[in-house]
Amino acid sequence: MTTQVKALFDKIWDNYLTVTPSAKNVHQLLGSGNDLINDHVAYRTFNIDKVCIGKLSAHLEALGYVEKGEYNFEAKKLYAKHFEHADNTLPKVFISQLLVEEFSDEAQTIIRKMVDQIDEKAIADESFLYSGTHWQVSSEDYKALLAESEYAAWMAAWGYRANHFTVSINHLQNYNDIETVNQTLKDAGFVLNASGGEIKGDPQVKLEQSSTMADQAVVEFSDRALEIPSCFYEFAKRYPLEDGTLYTGFVAASADKIFESTNAA
């Protein structure tokens, strides 16, 4: 099982690198050539049955992943779940979905038109997790979505691919605290997401997180190409619970700010 999961994440990683070239530099900087352990990988989708969280998680559940926590984001109109594998060296997976019915008729129509264009067979294949977009959408529609939800616009442009990977600071050999990781990244020229402060969370909530602002990459919309934010890298340090095991959940108040790593700078 572990070998199959690793093979899947290798493909997800390669697809992520095509639009997030800076991720390679992050590995070089923090891993000094060693393999990094990823704490988690994140996906985005819509709460439409055809592509809801369960359609993505099915591919992970088939490989031994189990549903663990759920999270609500009222202001951003999102709902999320996270999944874990019994082999705790494998990344957790955080999957959120946009509550489509809470948006304007115009936005809903654009989103439903995109989802209608996806082939059911593509969704049922594991490769869906590194397949990108399955639709034609205009730059006007992208901008219309952007006016209501940065998340909806990101989905229109980038679709089904890892939105970010996350370095597990607990597993780094040369770093132990998130402050030093952040400073190292900034000294190397990375721009960090400062929404709510560069460090989200604290030892009390058992999780500290930071992230880079997304790379910029070119998307070919149906009418023209635009350079827009693509994907980012996150950094997480987990703290032990009373029983000595590391906290494995997420923190909604922190996640709420991490979502903003794909905002325009």
Task: Find the shortest distance in angstroms from Cβ 250 to ligand OOG.
Answer: 5
Q: Does 208 bind Ni ion (CB under 5 A)?
A: no
Q: Nearest CA to 16 among 214, 255, 195?
A: 214
Which residue is it, tokens 């827009």? Answer: 228
| Residues in 184-213 at the binding interface with ligand OOG, rule: CB under 6 A | 209
Closer to ligand OOG by CB, 192 or 258: give it: 258
Rounded to whole angstroms, the Cα distance separating 249 from 69 reads: 7
| Residues in 223-262 at the binding interface with Ni ion, rule: CB under 5 A | 234
Which one of ligand OOG, Ni ion, none interacts with residue 254, CB within 5 to 8 A by kind? ligand OOG
| Residues in 86-105 at the binding interface with ligand OOG, rule: CB under 6 A | 94, 96
Tell me how far CA of residue 23 lies from CA of 13, 74, 110, 198, 235, in angstroms: 10, 30, 31, 19, 12
Q: Nearest CA to 20 among 213, 226, 260?
A: 213
Which residue is it, tokens 């996150």? Answer: 234
Q: Does 42 bind Ni ion (CB under 5 A)?
A: yes
Length of the chain: 265
From the list 12, 44, 84, 214, which residue makes contact with ligand OOG (rule: CB under 6 A)?
44
DSSP 173: S
Closer to ligand OOG by CB, 1 or 253: give it: 253
Tell me how far CA of residue 18 lies from CA of 78, 81, 218, in angstroms: 27, 26, 11
Burial of 92 (0-12, 13-18, 19+ CB in 10 A): buried
Q: Does 233 bind ligand OOG (CB under 6 A)?
A: no
Cβ contact 207:40 at 8 Å: no
Residues in contact with ligand OOG, counted by CB under 6 A, come to a total of: 12
- The 146-185 site mask, x for binding ligand OOG (CB under 6 A), equals -----------------x----------------------
Binding residues (CB under 6 A) for ligand OOG: these are 42, 44, 94, 96, 163, 209, 234, 250, 254-255, 258-259
Binding residues (CB under 5 A) for Ni ion: these are 42, 234
